[in-house]
Amino acid sequence: VILMVAITVILAAAIGSSVFSQGAAQPAPQANLNIKPAGPITSGLASVNIEHLGGDPVNLATSSIKIMASVENGKSAIQIYPDTPTTMTVGDIQKLDLKTHDSSGSSINLEKFKDDGTTKENLASGDVVNLKFIDINSGQIFLDKNIAF
């Protein structure tokens, strides 16, 4: 009887682990990305150039990566949607405008709060923007960088 119980427990554990396992976790891309301002801020729109210096390919499609831009330690933050989502490999350079879209499809630039704390204004020279690249599959942040304009 004890032997039958032991075999049943082992068999149940083996079946349970194979049925309920979710497979191996997918790691975030390991890539060396250089990010610099793509020039001065014009009409309140800041842009950056992303250069892939080495490592895994980085897919900029919104199904693979979430790009967050913020100013003032996160007081003002938006999700960035690249105009041309591509997969970057070593040597590629991609320009990224720091803007998002509202429900009607209109562009909204990344803005900061004025001193009153309620009104927003355009970014200007001297502002620092924080960019975070988050891998959707793993939920891991694989780039967290401050860029001074």
Residue 134: φ, ψ to 5°: -120, 125
Tokens of 67: 């790009």
**58-59 and 87-88 beta bridge pairing:** antiparallel
- Give the pLDDT of the chain (149 residues) as one tens digit per residue: 787 888 888 888 777 776 666 555 677 788 899 999 998 988 888 999 999 999 999 988 877 889 999 988 777 888 888 887 789 999 999 999 998 888 887 888 888 888 787 888 888 888 899 999 999 888 889 999 999 99
Q: What is the pTM of this model?
A: 0.75
- 50 bridge partner residues: 35, 94
